[in-house]
Structure 1
Amino acid sequence: MKTLLALVFATWTGLALAQAPAAELPEPGAKDLCPVCGMLVSKYPNWVATIVYEDGHAHFFDGAKDMFKFWHDPAKYATGHSRDQIERVSVTEYYGLQAIDARRAWYVIGSDVLGPMGHEFVPLATEEDAADFLKEHAGARVLRFDEVGAELPAMLDAARFE
């Protein structure tokens, strides 16, 4: 009986740990503005992207597109901040509406789903979700984080996807 209880406890605690977030992610306050476009981020909770620095400071964005603009040139938008100081980057996953690691996400561009600033990088948690979303929403292509070059966010602003 002790062995069975120990096994149940180990399984339960292991599952609880696997589901727990590694660290709490800050949420945008009512007055937090996107450093790229100046929009109130909290008005668009389904699109929030967040960059957290090693010192705990966070920047919030109204979508992955502005987060990528910032990522490629942080000094332009936040004096004194650089990419090597960044600890975490997260985006809100489209289907689950949960914050996920932006570097592990799959992004669909050119779809019929628009974000607060128009055409957007739609973040998805899995390759399968991205493939389904691409088909269901007439997307142009799927990208990974490292495939998003500095020029691509501006191309999305101009409704160009290739």
Structure 2
Amino acid sequence: MIKTVVMTILAAGLLMAGSIKVNRNDTCAVRQFKVYKYPSWIAKAETAKGETAYFSSPKSMFEFYFQPDRWMEFGAATPDDITSLTVTDFNTLNAINARSSYYVYGSTQTSPAGDDLVPFAKLEDAEKFAKKYKGKRILRFSEIKNSLIRLLNGRI
């Protein structure tokens, strides 16, 4: 009986740890791509005004994060107005907290937006990916600066 209860709880946890839910009309706030076409790269931001912005990649999410006033329709003038950031774990395709994720920089894998940062919930997964796809560094959220995003976009 206890085994059945434990298995039920574990299964429920797996079901709740799903992907970022989008529909066919959701577009990337930065690039205007239909995000449903790229499920392994979807990210989103929620603002204090209750608005949700979807992104076709983590790089696009960071562009929004560093300069939210460029997209005022989402009600965020500064990064402090962004209440939640979510990315897709590249290994599991589960939605994960962007602020606690590990990001692989400089890999051979590209997103719909080009060179990008590949997110993972676990450091071990990021390390395996970096080794397999020639990633140059593994970064935490706080280490990512607007200058890196500009570099990835070819603006530096």
Superposition TM-score, scaled by structure 2 size = 0.84
Q: Deviations over 1:30-71 (max 9, x none)?
A: 122211122221221111001123454211000000000101
Of the three residues 91, 109, 121, the one matched with 1:95 is 91
Equivalent residues of 2:65, 2:82 under 8 A apart:
no
Instruction: Let me know the Cα RMSD of the aligned residues.
Output: 2.5
1:51 is matched with which residue? 45
Question: What SS class does the counterpart of residue 38 from structure 1 fall into?
Answer: coil
2:54 is matched with which residue? 60
Distance 1:20 1:98 in 2: 10
Taking every aligned residue pair, what percent have the same amino acid on both sides? 34
Q: Does 1:106 align with 2:134?
A: no
Question: What SS class does the counterpart of residue 40 from structure 2 fall into?
Answer: helix
Count of matched residue pairs: 154
Equivalent residues of 1:119, 1:159 under 8 A apart:
no
Q: CA deviation at 1:119?
A: 0.5
Of the three residues 145, 148, 155, the one matched with 1:149 is 145
The runs of 5 or more residues in structure 1 that have no matched partner are none
2:134 is matched with which residue? 138
Q: CA deviation at 1:99?
A: 1.1
Letter in 1 for 2:71: Y
Greater gyration radius: 1
Q: Does 1:81 align with 2:76?
A: yes
Distance 1:81 1:87 in 2: 10
What pairs with 1:118-129 in structure 2 (closer than 5 Å)? 118-129=114-125
Residues 16 and 31 of structure 1, relative CA distance in 2, 3 Å threshold = closer
Superposition TM-score, scaled by structure 1 size = 0.81
